[in-house]
Structure 1
Amino acid sequence: MSSTLGVGFLGAGPVTQAIHLPTLARLTDTFHVVHISDVDADTADRVAGRVGASSSTSADAVLDDPRVDVVAICTPHRFHAAQVIAACRAGKRAVLCEKPFATSADEAAEIAAVSAETGVPIVVGAMHTFDPGWQAATAHWGSLPQNSHTIRSSIVLPPNPRFEDFATEVISPRTSPPAEARSVEAQAALAHAGIMGLAIHDLPLVRTLLPHFDDLAVLSACALAPFGYQIVLTVAGTRVELHALISKTWQPDWTLEVYSDTQALRVEFSPSYVHAGSAVATLLTAGSAQTWGPATHNGYEGEWGDLAAIVRGEKQAPDTAGLVEDLRFATAVADAAADLVRSPYREGALA
């Protein structure tokens, strides 16, 4: 029996190739990749060949493989819930699923129930929640969550291939940038996709700063070309601003800012696909400034490290109720933003 945990991947696209495989290459004392599946047989075979793993075009082949201790799910969002549930029922030791791990609150609740029934822990790959810079800030921010009045997530990035190519030579066809959306429904779909595909990185962090989101109200929302969004909402008296733009910018920026009357927090994250240490977090008050980071490891290593500690019994599994609430929050924002894009001038919709 191997002393390291065998990992099987569902999906062999850029996230697997440029994020998880380079991360696991730094964690060979804990993990080894044994099986990679993808609907494209050539991609599966070539990616698996890089790490000496088996390949297949079937999720069942991975789930039936006795060498697979941990299933990593990196398929399109719509497949996540069914595949997480199948991995739990296959008796694997843990599941790591890319965000979002479901597309609806009902799916998320079903996943939580199956995880509880089977005892298989689930880690959602929201890497910023595992980032050492962010975790240091949360350990020291005192009353900031109770007193914050403004939260701002700002993401300005070039298209993913720039950073994917820094991490590895991606095997698979490049996807074309989305065509300019002209219809109202297309704009609404883009806003929804932006929240569930990009803002989803930071929304779990935002939710830690909110007592609840029962009174969530989206005040303004629009999709930005070529891909992005500008959304303003209020939750429990706190103003939340979400901005993202994917363009040809040469200077990437990914920041999360939180303000109260007496404190200000700024967290600067590395772009996705960049393996360059942790975020840098700075907490300011009138009389002091504290800075944490960059640590030598990033949130990608953090999520895999936590998963290993959970499997070894050294750490508790994430609270599935919290994961469900994260998903509920994200879908509530996405649905409300898309609805407002569809009906931008209805009475009371705009601030």
Structure 2
Amino acid sequence: MQSTLGVGFLGSGPVTQAIHLPTLARLTDHFTVRHLNDVDAGVAAAVAQPAGTAYSTSLDALLGDPLVDVVAICSPHGFHAEQVIAACRSGKKAVLCEKPLAMSADEAAAIATASAETGVPVLVGSMHVYDPGWRAAVAHWGDLPATCHTIRSSVVLPPNARFEDLATEVTSRPAFPAMDLSDVGIRAGLVHAGVMGLAVHDLPLIRTLLPRYGDLRVISATLLTPFGYRILMVAGGKFVELHAVMSQTWQPRWVLEAYADDQVLHTEFTPSYVHAGSAVSTLTTAETAQVFGPRETNGYEAEWLELAAVVRGEVSPPDLDGLVDDLRFTVAVADAAAEAVRSADRTEAAA
């Protein structure tokens, strides 16, 4: 009988190679990688060989592997929902799905139903949610969710490849296609993709600071080049700014801030793919400045350790309704931002 939890990966691309495999290599008391799956047999074989694991190209092969207790879903976003549901139905002990959980609220609700019916817990790989530096700030922020009026997420990063190559030797990296940015449909699609792929890291955190988001209104949304976005919106009576740009910067920065009249939260996260310590959060008032972090455990390790604790019955699984609401909020922002890009183009054309 296995003393550790066997892990199988659906999707063996850069996220698996540069984030999860190095993370699990530090958590061998809890996990053993057992199976790597990818639609590209060459990629699956190349990644599996140094890891010493089985590999396959079919979903059924991985789900049928008796050594796999936990399924980690790192495939393209559009496949997440069907694969999470299939993993739940296969009777595994848990599922970890990379963000976003799904691409629509209906898909997320179907996942919640499958998880509830099978009893298989589902966790979303939102490393910022699990980051010890963030969680410490949440535990000490008092009435900040009620009193804050302005929230800002600012991300300035180099291309992922720079950090991927520092973490591991990546096998088969997909090329970013050339696009005609004069086409408003492409610009709107890129902003939508930016929310679903990048802002999604912080939107669950932002949602905890909002009393509601049913009144969400995007004031403006702009595509930044070479890739990024600037989105200004109002939700729950609060002003929210989402800013991100990926360039050749030598100084990466990822900051989430919340401002009230008498308190400010400033959380600085390590960039994605960086295997460093936790975020550093600072809660500042006129009298004090409380600093939380950095802790040795980062968000990636924390999410996997939480999964192990859930499987072993040491902590409760994440609230399914909360996960669905996180996804619903993210999709609402993405859809509204894309429409704001199209609306601005129509206004400009009519002027």
TM-score (norm 2): 0.97
Letter in 2 for 1:93: K
Aligned to 1:75: 75
Deviation at 1:346, TM superposition (A): 7.1
Aligned to 1:227: 227
Aligned to 2:14: 14
Q: Is the 8 A contact 1:264 1:285 kept in 2?
A: yes
Aligned to 2:236: 236
Unaligned runs of 5+ in 2: none
- Taking the aligned partners of 1:91 and 1:13, their CA distance within structure 2 comes to 25
Q: 1:329 to 1:178 in 2, by over 3 A?
A: farther
> Which stretch shifts more, 179-188 or 19-28?
179-188
Letter in 1 for 2:220: S
- Taking the aligned partners of 2:101 and 2:237, their CA distance within structure 1 comes to 28
CA displacement, residues 169-195 of structure 1 (integer Å, 9 cap, x when unaligned): 101134236535220111100110000
Aligned to 1:143: 143
Letter in 1 for 2:312: R
- Taking the aligned partners of 1:145 and 1:31, their CA distance within structure 2 comes to 36
Matches within 5 A, 1:138-177: 138-176=138-176
Matches within 5 A, 1:175-186: 175-176=175-176, 178-186=178-186
* Secondary structure of residue in 1 paired with 2:297: coil
Tell me the number of residue pairs that the alignment of Structure 1 and Structure 2 aligns: 347
- Taking the aligned partners of 2:20 and 2:286, their CA distance within structure 1 comes to 41
Aligned to 2:271: 271
Letter in 2 for 1:156: V
Q: Is the 8 A contact 2:94 2:311 kept in 1?
A: yes
- Taking the aligned partners of 1:154 and 1:340, their CA distance within structure 2 comes to 20
Letter in 1 for 2:306: D
Deviation at 1:148, TM superposition (A): 0.6
- Taking the aligned partners of 1:77 and 1:89, their CA distance within structure 2 comes to 20
CA displacement, residues 145-181 of structure 1 (integer Å, 9 cap, x when unaligned): 0001000000000000100011101011342365352
Letter in 1 for 2:27: L
Q: 1:314 to 1:9 in 2, by over 3 A?
A: same
Q: Is the 8 A contact 2:13 2:173 kept in 1?
A: no
Letter in 1 for 2:253: D
- Taking the aligned partners of 1:178 and 1:310, their CA distance within structure 2 comes to 43
* Secondary structure of residue in 1 paired with 2:55: strand
Aligned to 1:304: 304
- Taking the aligned partners of 2:236 and 2:24, their CA distance within structure 1 comes to 40
- Taking the aligned partners of 2:180 and 2:281, their CA distance within structure 1 comes to 36
* Secondary structure of residue in 2 paired with 1:65: coil
| 1:190 lines up with 2:206 in the alignment | no
Aligned to 2:38: 38
User: Percent of aligned pairs with the same residue?
Assistant: 66
Q: Is the 8 A contact 2:179 2:186 kept in 1?
A: no
Aligned to 2:251: 251
Aligned to 2:344: 344
Aligned to 2:49: 49
Q: Is the 8 A contact 2:149 2:260 kept in 1?
A: yes
- Taking the aligned partners of 2:102 and 2:257, their CA distance within structure 1 comes to 27
Q: Is the 8 A contact 1:112 1:320 kept in 2?
A: yes
Q: Is the 8 A contact 1:180 1:225 kept in 2?
A: no
Letter in 2 for 1:109: A
Aligned to 1:280: 280
Deviation at 1:345, TM superposition (A): 6.7
- Taking the aligned partners of 1:193 and 1:307, their CA distance within structure 2 comes to 27
Q: Is the 8 A contact 2:133 2:281 kept in 1?
A: yes
- Taking the aligned partners of 2:146 and 2:305, their CA distance within structure 1 comes to 30
Matches within 5 A, 1:86-101: 86-101=86-101
Deviation at 1:103, TM superposition (A): 0.2
Unaligned runs of 5+ in 1: none
Deviation at 1:297, TM superposition (A): 0.9
- Taking the aligned partners of 1:287 and 1:118, their CA distance within structure 2 comes to 51
- Taking the aligned partners of 1:225 and 1:319, their CA distance within structure 2 comes to 37
Q: Is the 8 A contact 1:180 1:226 kept in 2?
A: no
Deviation at 1:60, TM superposition (A): 1.1
Q: Is the 8 A contact 1:8 1:36 kept in 2?
A: yes
Q: Is the 8 A contact 2:151 2:256 kept in 1?
A: yes
Q: Is the 8 A contact 1:178 1:227 kept in 2?
A: no
- Taking the aligned partners of 1:95 and 1:142, their CA distance within structure 2 comes to 33
Q: Is the 8 A contact 1:178 1:226 kept in 2?
A: no
Q: Is the 8 A contact 2:88 2:114 kept in 1?
A: yes
Q: Is the 8 A contact 1:267 1:280 kept in 2?
A: yes
- Taking the aligned partners of 1:130 and 1:318, their CA distance within structure 2 comes to 11
- Taking the aligned partners of 1:107 and 1:149, their CA distance within structure 2 comes to 32
- Taking the aligned partners of 1:224 and 1:215, their CA distance within structure 2 comes to 26
